Amino acid sequence: MDFIIAVIIFIFSLIYNISKQYSLIIPLLIGMLAFSSVAFYRGFKLRNIVVMLMKGMKKSLYILSIFALIGMITALWRAGGTIPFFVYYGIKIMNPDYFILFAFLLTCFVAFALGTCIGTAGTVGVVLIILARSGGVNIYVAAGAILSGAFFGDRSSPLSSSANLVAIITETDLYDNIKKMFITGALPFLATIVVYLLLSKNNPINVTNNELIEKFSVNFNLHISTVLPAVIILLLAISKNDVRVAMLFSIITAVFICLYIQNLTLQEILKYMIFGFVNTDPALSEIISGGGLISMLNVTFVVLIASSYSGIFEGTGMLKDIQGALIKMSNKIGVYLTTVFTSLVTCACCCNQTLSVLLTHDLMNNIYKENNLTKDNLAIDIENTAILIAAIFPWSVAVAVPLATMDVGAKAIFYAVYLFFVPLMAPLIPKSKVYNLGDGN
């Protein structure tokens, strides 16, 4: 009963803070205090509780350095013209008759390069929605295609904080996970293309906002060399280098691009790396500005605090009753469907992708072990469920922020078919084609 009370306190604090648009850090701290109080009530000493919390936080330390690198990269790719290059030339080659399909494919590409659904929605997503509005395209269909593409990258990019988080908490190899994600995502990807191809027929774009698009070429030197920072990430990822090494080389390359192609000063570059890139053109300031170390502070604290839950749940055994019920469920419907159910519940209650992933892992980890399933199995199943399911709940930060950025209502989620296809179609992929990659654990 004490645990249920703590959960209720935590959920209500989450709902209140999200409704007031306050930081998630506040309810997470309340939750940490609530669960710590349960541990204290059950007889655990305060010193031991602190050790448990620190043990949970320790698991996230590796990813914090990745967050810092991601913040710098997203700023430099904006300042150096990498993202403007993708947006400008991507839209230039667009076929107006297949706008919805194009919106999906372009956002897939940009999201894979950036590794963030929010950053993708805030850049190319905003441009595409402006074009959709001015061209008589159904904005909900367009936004749904953009969300699908954005979460394609958020799920499977080596720069994705969620992909790195899953790899770290499951103790699996990031690049092996990405390979498996492409295998399990291939059928949903093709099905999504078919759906958006059909929807494109009823949503051709009639008018294009050429003035906005040309702003990119006016404000940036869109030389082909501006894509080098993204190419380096891709090449080093293919050769399975440490993702931090790949990011570091991309940052170095982007600095040179900023200096010699965009003619920025070293002082400006350092400022952008810390505080984020700022474009002075009113037409582009809301679209292309952003990134920087400071931009990652909130998500850093969210992951750090949420990770502490793992330590206290593991140390006190608070989740045993829930895990017992899930074991019974897995015996009846199977482990994967139980993971889907667990993800639905955690995503609906937590309103936050990071915490949903951590809780799904904590609840399902032992069940996978008892069924002789590896850490690789758990990692790819979390990627196919919790990562995407978080975006189907309108109150989840994972989708609420991109929708608010594009100024589109929650109805767009219905058209984000990739979010639904991946969890539904994952069981159709033969396990032999997925789990023969990597060594397993």
Is the model more confident about 182 or about 159? 182
Query: For residue 426, is it within any domain?
Result: no
Q: Indicate if 30 and 143 belong to the same structural domain.
A: no
Interior/surface letters 160-173, b for 16+ CB within 10 angstroms, e for the rest: bbbbbbbbbbbebb
Q: Indicate if 150 and 283 belong to the same structural domain.
A: yes
Q: Could you give the CA distance from residue 178 to residue 186 in angstroms, rounded to a whole number?
A: 12
Report whether 80 contacts 258 (CB < 8 A): yes
Q: What is the pLDDT of residue 441?
A: 40
First to last CA, the chain: 36
Given 267, 296, 325, the domain boundary residue is 296
Q: Indicate if 164 and 282 belong to the same structural domain.
A: yes
Query: For residue 124, is it within any domain?
Result: yes
Q: Could you give the CA distance from residue 59 to residue 437 in angstroms, rounded to a whole number?
A: 25
pLDDT at residue 280 is higher than 90: no
Q: Is this prediction's pTM over 0.85?
A: no
Q: Indicate if 30 and 66 belong to the same structural domain.
A: no
Q: In this predicted model, what pLDDT tens digit does every residue of 387-429 receive, in sequence order? A: 999 999 888 878 888 888 888 888 999 999 999 999 999 988 8
Give the confidence band of 116 by pLDDT, cuts at 50, 70, 90.
confident
Q: Which of 403, 91, 94, 102 is nearest to 216 (CA)?
A: 91
Q: Indicate if 17 and 100 belong to the same structural domain.
A: no
Q: Indicate if 74 and 24 belong to the same structural domain.
A: no
Query: What is the mean pLDDT of the segment spanning 79-95?
Result: 88
Angle at 109 between CA 106 and CA 112, to 5 degrees: 145
Q: Count of CB atoms within 10 A of residue 282's CB?
A: 8
Give the confidence band of 136 by pLDDT, cuts at 50, 70, 90.
confident
- Give the length of the chain: 441
**pLDDT > 90 fraction of the chain, expressed in percent and rounded:** 44
Residues in Cβ contact with 415 at an 8 Å cutoff, skipping those fewer than 6 apart: 140, 141, 143, 144, 145, 147, 199
Query: For residue 210, is it within any domain?
Result: yes
Query: For residue 352, is it within any domain?
Result: no
Instruction: Give the number of domains in the chain.
Output: 2
Query: For residue 370, is it within any domain?
Result: no
Q: Indicate if 38 and 92 belong to the same structural domain.
A: no
φ, ψ (nearest 5 deg) of residue 207: -135, 135
Q: Count of CB atoms within 10 A of residue 331's CB?
A: 12
Domain range for 17 is 1-43
Q: Indicate if 28 and 88 belong to the same structural domain.
A: no
Q: Indicate if 2 and 123 belong to the same structural domain.
A: no
Query: For residue 49, is it within any domain?
Result: no
Given 296, 325, 353, the domain boundary residue is 296
Q: Which of 94, 92, 98, 108 is nearest to 150 (CA)?
A: 108
The torsion defined by the Cα of 40, 46, 52 and 56, in degrees rounded to 10, comes to: 90
Query: What is the mean pLDDT of the segment spanning 343-352?
Result: 84
Query: For residue 324, is it within any domain?
Result: no
Q: Indicate if 234 and 182 belong to the same structural domain.
A: yes
Query: For residue 27, is it within any domain?
Result: yes
Q: Could you give the CA distance from residue 24 to residue 15 in angstroms, rounded to a whole number?
A: 10
- Integer Rg of the chain from CA: 22
pLDDT at residue 43 is higher than 50: yes
**pLDDT > 70 fraction of the chain, expressed in percent and rounded:** 97
Q: Indicate if 112 and 152 belong to the same structural domain.
A: yes
Given 275, 296, 317, the domain boundary residue is 296
Report whether 28 contacts 56 (CB < 8 A): no
Q: Indicate if 66 and 22 belong to the same structural domain.
A: no
Q: To the nearest whole number, what is the mean pLDDT of the chain?
A: 88
